[in-house]
Amino acid sequence: MRPAAMTVEQIEDLLRSEFPQAFYDGCGLSLERVHYADVRVRRAYHEDHLRPGGTISGPTMMELADFAMYVAVFSAIGPQPLAVTTNLSINFLRKPAPTDLLADAKLLKVGKRLVVGEVAIYSDGQDEPVAHVTSTYSVPAKMD
């Protein structure tokens, strides 16, 4: 298996410096695993995530999936903070209880221009996913 292009600590440092609006001490996001093209991110529960019915809102899950894909892109191609999502498609499967969420992102293709992956989101402690996401990131062309 190929080694990851960046360690957990390197990705956290990159996120803190390049994306301070989303990743900062106390933001509730943490990186639990970073392998090559295969990462796990945790989102700590906060009551602001609730929607009518007392379950966690869709946008909370979409933001988490997009963040997990961003980390997975770094795990495969290294520091590319200007990589941008071109497409994200999410299916909501079950209503997540008010607890932590885990997002497992795996890349399906690591191309020169496009990186495609899928993300399964789980409620902490549950076996069946609450949401499933596929997403494509566009990687900026290298300056030569």
Which residues form the interface with its own copies (CB under 8 A)? 18-19, 21-22, 47-53, 57-59, 62-63, 66-67, 81-82, 84-95, 108-109, 113-114, 116, 118, 128-129, 132, 134, 136, 138
First to last CA, the chain: 29
Q: Provide the minimum distance between the beta carbon of 80 and its own copies in the complex, in angstroms, as a whole number.
A: 10
3-state secondary structure of 10: helix
| Residue closer to its own copies, measured from CB, 33 or 94 | 94
Structure tokens belonging to residue 57:
């809102």
Q: Provide the minimum distance between the beta carbon of 104 and its own copies in the complex, in angstroms, as a whole number.
A: 13
3-state secondary structure of 137: strand
Taking the C-alpha atoms of residue 9 and residue 111, their distance in angstroms, rounded to an integer, is 25
